[in-house]
Amino acid sequence: MDKWVKLHIRKQFINLAIKILNRVIPSREAQFPQTKILARVYADLLHVYKIEAYCGRFDDVPYGTLDTLKDKNFLRFLQLSNSVLTYLGDTDRYYRAWLGLFFLLIRDHTETLPLADAGRSVMEQWDYPECQEVFTEYARFFEKDAREAILSNHLYNLVKLTLNRGEKYNDRNTIDRP
């Protein structure tokens, strides 16, 4: 069987399971620091998802809303993962501690993301005709931007720009922190 057919069948099965689980798992208001952080992260993710829907990223229809989307599979995935993690974090102190550890480790690991093979990584993830030598040279001077490009490309920029969390650049191409 063709690998793309297998992938399509697997994704259909996963999407169906997520749709069912979304109806079964209750959503709840975050109560603890770890789940409140999680709620803010998911709010930011949903905000960017709405922008992507508005731009026509999912259905190739511009000015879309979440209600008019035909393909809601990733939206359901975000909702389910939020519900599961919030429910477990708020009802079980052990899961809550692991969730807190996850947030602490994420911070440490993103700051040490290796940039040596970054050009190839960006090219493979986003199908950009990015030259590894050019990206590596860029990464030497703009290390933080290079890490953002490797991890999420333009999605992180949407959060910074639309939620006013961006850093202000001065005329010397250095960053002034607000």
Are 25 and 62 contained in the same domain?
yes
Report pLDDT for 128: 60
Are 57 and 92 contained in the same domain?
yes
Domain boundary among the residues 57, 91, 111 is at: 111
Are 103 and 135 contained in the same domain?
no
Q: Detail the DSSP E strand segments found in the chain.
A: 168-169, 175-176
Report pLDDT for 175: 37
Domain boundary among the residues 111, 144, 164 is at: 111
Domain extent, residue 148, equals 118-176
pLDDT digits (tens, 9 = 90+) for 117-150: 666 666 666 666 656 666 667 677 777 777 777 7
pLDDT digits (tens, 9 = 90+) for 102-120: 999 988 777 776 666 666 6
Q: Identify the band that residue 174 occupies on the pLDDT scale cut at 50, 70 and 90.
A: very low
Q: 2 phi and psi, to 5 degrees?
A: -65, 140
Report pLDDT for 134: 65
Are 32 and 90 contained in the same domain?
yes
Report pLDDT for 173: 37
Are 60 and 99 contained in the same domain?
yes
Q: How many structural domains comprise the chain?
A: 2
